[in-house]
Structure 1
Amino acid sequence: MLRSLNRIYSNKLVFKRVINCNNPLRCHSISSICNYGVCLDIDGVLIKGDTVVPETRAALDFLSGNNIAKKKIPFILLTNGGGVTEKRKAKELSKLLEFDLSEEQIVLSHSPMKSLVSTYQNSQVLVLGGASDNCRKVAESYGFNRVVLPNDILAWNPSIWPFTKLGQEDLKLTKKVDFSSESIVAIMMFHDSRDWGRDLQITLDVLRSRDGYVGTLSKGNEINSRAVPIYFSNPDIIWANDYPIPRYAQGSFRKCLELLFQDTTGHKLKYKLFGKPEPITYLYTAKKLEDFAVEYTGERIANRKIYDIAGANRAGWTSILVRTGVFSGEDNDLLNPAKYVADNILHAVEWMFHREEGFLWTKRK
């Protein structure tokens, strides 16, 4: 029986087990048709910072047909990272991994936030995180037509956070907006903040404002009834890069914001989460994987029950924990045990393949 996942760390690989067989260990025939798909994490699984995990290329080659069945296995990359467009991320990863990837194979933390376009397409939204104005470009590529950044507000009134001084290059990237007369209707955090002090202050100013007009202040119960909605793309508290100790992630920023909001208003911050392990992210990813499978192999993934998800394993996903990321213990994760624990990504995909195809597998040393 599959165990339910409440949380998936950034060092887990997840795959959707959809082979149509009551007992896969008895299915020994080799078929050229692949009716299951694989979803790989990036940070801690394929790469650590800018360093490629040694087994990554062999694992990707294995999925691309370099296996005993010569079978191409559809796979996409699902990450709680972001801050750039899917097209740019595919290009960056292709260069780093020396392996061709398409934007259709990339799901970033903010990719499912495209669903918000129908609500906020022509409304002014504040987008947080990322370097330079990259996240403005991402949001605009999704279809948001009025995107503002913290630096736009800082340029409008530098005293809102006097400790960050904008240079000429920064000012060239800002939009001129009168925030006292043009309200902010929603806040969306697309990536990690590059200036926590600035972003915490400005976000709190907007959250505590009356109807999103910066410089105003709601009173009493108005905080709840007139609050600007806020959305986060990544719940992770920490993430793994090439530094030996995990780094704080977007979830840590949210925790700070929650505490400050509670202390200054007396109210609990209300927010909406995207990213793993939120159901909306798995729903989006399942559709993305099925669409790519048709393009990649010409076959559809058989099991459609994935759309009834409330979490990864409850919907028929199985998790594999690899020891190259945040988790490095000998045993399984105690809080959220995975179906299998692998030393690295190559061991993980080999175990998955042999399990799905019904072959005996001997772990390579």
Structure 2
Amino acid sequence: MAALGGKPAFGLLFDIDGVIVRGKKVLPSALESFKRLVDSEGKFRVPTVFVTNAGNAMRHDKAKQLSSWLEIEIHEEQVVMAHSPLRMFQQYHNKRVLISGQGPIVEIAKNLGFEKIVTIEELRCTFPMLDAVDHKRRISVPCTFEQYFPRIEAVVLFGEPIRWETALQLIVDTLMTDGLPARPMPHLVYPHIPLLACNMDLQWMAEAWMPRFGHGAFLLCLENLYKKITGHNLIYTALIGKPSEITYHHAHHMVVAQAKNIGIDSCVKRLYAVGDNIYTDIFGANLYDRYLSRRNVQESKRIVNVERSIEELLGSDTSDWGYGAESCSSILVQTGVYSEGVQNGMLDHSPRDFLPVEEKLRAPNELHPTKEVPALATISADEFKDIVMQKLKKRPVVVVFAEESLSVEDFSWQDEAGEGAFPNLENVSSESDGLTYLPFVHAPLRAFHHHLPMQGQNWYNVKLGPSGLLSDVALNETLLFLNLDDATSDEDRPDLLKRHDAVISQVYRTLAERHSDVLAVYTAHHSSWQSGEETLTRRVRRLLATDLAAEDEKGYASNKTLLYAPNMTVIIGKDSYSLTSGTAEGDEDLTIRFPQDISVIFSFENEKSPGYWSLLGVSVAIQNNTYIFNDTKVGAPLQFSYHCSQEVIFTDGDNKLNISSDFQIQPYIEERRFGSAYDCVYFFTVPIWSGLFVCGVFSLIMIFGLVMIMDIKTMDRFDDPKGKTITINTSE
């Protein structure tokens, strides 16, 4: 995927509804993912195009909407609407066309190049007697100008209309009468006038928990009505939008154009299409992938129906379409229409003209379940530790290979012969029990060095011999670290990776011959897109149930409550108790038992203020005596934690419970990690007191100065040279 010099040699095609948003609600994973695609100035580092089957908006309006949702600048040239490829159908631009849909469809049609436009509403007003479903809108008097109405030469369907019954009736009338709905026809005209349809989505995902009907449902009604009435199949001159290959071809062209705009001169070798619908997004991407494969090997065999093939629509000579892409991979997400376990494999929601569908064409190249981290999202060091801990249950030998820098493009780079930089690694992964690929992990080496040494064992830094083989001492170690920092100035990046690939393969095979279970990790000190000096400006502490007792004595967790308290001290009268090394238990109420025969119970409620939880009180049991602290004032919205960077003190008369700074607590948890922090902020903090003191000092100085100015006495008599001399005696 990556060209030499670190420039990406791939492009991304994103669906919008169900992938980025659901209705008007932006999916949190989308914001996180797209931050990885732009640089510090907000410009895309990878050519990215948004391909949607929506047809009710102009491209520039959709680009503005995406910019608002994703908080990055999206240009009109990055948006492909369902109707965008109609710009290439110039043979219909000077014909009188009937258009259907909602939104600014007249403006859309004119923008695409259509000159003579008739809307469903204009047709209904011209032929009022044709619309008879709604009794309140029935008009029995014909229009005077019916006979002068020019013939409709084509029908263009942009999207689902608002009043389906009116649109279905008038479109069927227009098709059956050869574009002259006012004149009775002596016989049915078939084939009918050209029909171009955009957006074939049977369903799409909005805010509702179930998918909603899309334009594909309207087309299904139109097809069946026309078949039932005429006995003939409805003929589409062109089906535009996903899963049509022509839409992906148009998007491919825009990816290449955008790559040049962002300074990528190399050829875009691969496309990755991300969608939530296997019948449009995944099916369409796989169809285009097969088209690319066929074109690249110059096959002459037609694979798709003639009516919708690219060659049939735009001509068979496609030799000048040399955009250079070799494949189009499909990636299915479960944030929209598709949901594993809900889809019925016996049903086929693909458009009629695409049936029958080979099962493999509906299978994504990658499937990302809802609970998994999005492919472009950052995985924290603690989350990565959780993943690794699952693999360490069998106590394998661990060997870590660390490059100075690494990125996604390094794994997908290919030379002209199609060979990647890791041929040996590909063979090793196919022979191993399993391979886990994580595109971006924050500080993975920190997770290894800080958390993985077990039972007093330390990391053994491996030094390779002249032949690249490990020494006998290294073969007996269980935590091995190999730093791949031997790059030379005259060595290209692919050559460096290939050399390291050979070393990794050799070391892994050597260890696998000696040990029955080996965990090999290939990572880097930092990403190729991130300099080594860059650091994360915001850190979030996460507590995991599996390692609280063993690794973090300051954290406590029950079944539904988490607490982080660096130091707790109980003061009862003149006696003071320091609470450490406690064990937690309980459900919603958190009980911590300490070795001094002391128990601390945190009690919560979430009914007084809907949507919020609060700490009812803290009770401390010392031997047979119980002390209750009710004046807590601790609470936060549900799914949020309460955090305080200052010391927290619960009091009851002379008794106190002191918790040092960095206190954090959260009840009613679903996962065993803190939610976003709802931080305590005292109004009169030290900085505020300092500011008030300084302002007071300056105020006193100003008041003193004003008083001194007001006390100045000026002269009230002046000497006049023409008058009598003023004499002032000492008494005055």
TM-score range, shorter chain: 0.7 to 0.9
Query: Which residue of structure 1 lines up, in the alignment, with residue 623 of structure 2?
Result: none
Structure 1: 5+ residue stretches without partners: 1-17, 21-29, 167-175
Q: Say how many residue pairs are matched.
A: 318
3-state SS of 2:232 partner: coil
1:128 aligns with 2:128: no
> What amino acid is the match of 1:339?
N
Distance of aligned partners of 1:310 and 1:94 in 2 relative to their CA distance in 1, 3 Å threshold: closer
Query: Which residue of structure 1 lines up, in the alignment, with residue 13 of structure 2?
Result: 39
Contact 2:11–2:255, Cα closer than 8 Å, also in 1: yes
Contact 1:187–1:231, Cα closer than 8 Å, also in 2: yes
For residue 72 of structure 1, report the CA deviation from its aligned partner: 0.9
CA distance in 2, matches of 1:217, 1:300: 60
Match of 2:149 among 176, 181, 203: 181
For residue 155 of structure 1, report the CA deviation from its aligned partner: 1.5
1:153 aligns with 2:123: yes
More strand by share: 2
Structure 2: 5+ residue stretches without partners: 138-143, 273-284, 293-326, 346-358, 379-405, 413-435, 442-672, 674-732
> What amino acid is the match of 2:61?
R
For residue 339 of structure 1, report the CA deviation from its aligned partner: 1.0
CA distance in 2, matches of 1:241, 1:56: 15
Contact 2:8–2:409, Cα closer than 8 Å, also in 1: no
3-state SS of 1:312 partner: helix
CA distance in 2, matches of 1:74, 1:333: 35
More helix by share: 1
For residue 130 of structure 1, report the CA deviation from its aligned partner: 1.2
CA distance in 2, matches of 1:156, 1:238: 33
Contact 1:56–1:346, Cα closer than 8 Å, also in 2: no
For residue 234 of structure 1, report the CA deviation from its aligned partner: 1.2
Distance of aligned partners of 1:310 and 1:245 in 2 relative to their CA distance in 1, 3 Å threshold: closer
Match of 2:287 among 298, 304, 311: 311
Distance of aligned partners of 1:219 and 1:62 in 2 relative to their CA distance in 1, 3 Å threshold: farther
Contact 1:234–1:276, Cα closer than 8 Å, also in 2: yes
Query: Which residue of structure 1 lines up, in the alignment, with residue 165 of structure 2?
Result: 197
Distance of aligned partners of 1:304 and 1:342 in 2 relative to their CA distance in 1, 3 Å threshold: closer
Contact 1:72–1:297, Cα closer than 8 Å, also in 2: no
CA distance in 1, matches of 2:181, 2:265: 52
TM-score (norm. length: structure 1): 0.78
3-state SS of 2:124 partner: helix
Query: Which residue of structure 2 lines up, in the alignment, with residue 93 of structure 1?
Result: 66
- 1:257-316 CA-to-partner distances (Å, cap 9, x unmatched) read 11111111111111121111111111111101111111123424343999xx99222221
Contact 1:179–1:213, Cα closer than 8 Å, also in 2: no
For residue 58 of structure 1, report the CA deviation from its aligned partner: 1.6
1:250 aligns with 2:220: no
Match of 1:229 among 186, 189, 194: 194
1:269 aligns with 2:254: no
Contact 1:35–1:299, Cα closer than 8 Å, also in 2: no
Contact 1:282–1:311, Cα closer than 8 Å, also in 2: no
Contact 1:74–1:297, Cα closer than 8 Å, also in 2: no
1:341 aligns with 2:367: yes
Query: Which residue of structure 2 lines up, in the alignment, with residue 103 of structure 1?
Result: 76
Distance of aligned partners of 1:330 and 1:310 in 2 relative to their CA distance in 1, 3 Å threshold: closer
Query: Which residue of structure 2 lines up, in the alignment, with residue 362 of structure 1?
Result: 438
Percent of residue pairs identical: 27
Q: Counterparts in 2 of 1:63-82, with a 5 A limit?
A: 63-65=37-39, 72-82=45-55
Larger Rg: 2
CA distance in 1, matches of 2:369, 2:215: 27
> What amino acid is the match of 2:86?
M
1:215 aligns with 2:187: no
3-state SS of 1:319 partner: strand
Query: Which residue of structure 1 lines up, in the alignment, with residue 114 of structure 2?
Result: 144
Match of 1:292 among 236, 254, 258: 258
Distance of aligned partners of 1:239 and 1:302 in 2 relative to their CA distance in 1, 3 Å threshold: closer
3-state SS of 2:97 partner: strand
CA distance in 1, matches of 2:343, 2:179: 46
3-state SS of 2:330 partner: strand
Q: Which has the higher contact order (CA 8 A, sep 6+)?
A: 1
For residue 215 of structure 1, report the CA deviation from its aligned partner: 1.9
Contact 1:322–1:342, Cα closer than 8 Å, also in 2: yes
CA distance in 1, matches of 2:44, 2:149: 59
For residue 19 of structure 1, report the CA deviation from its aligned partner: 4.7
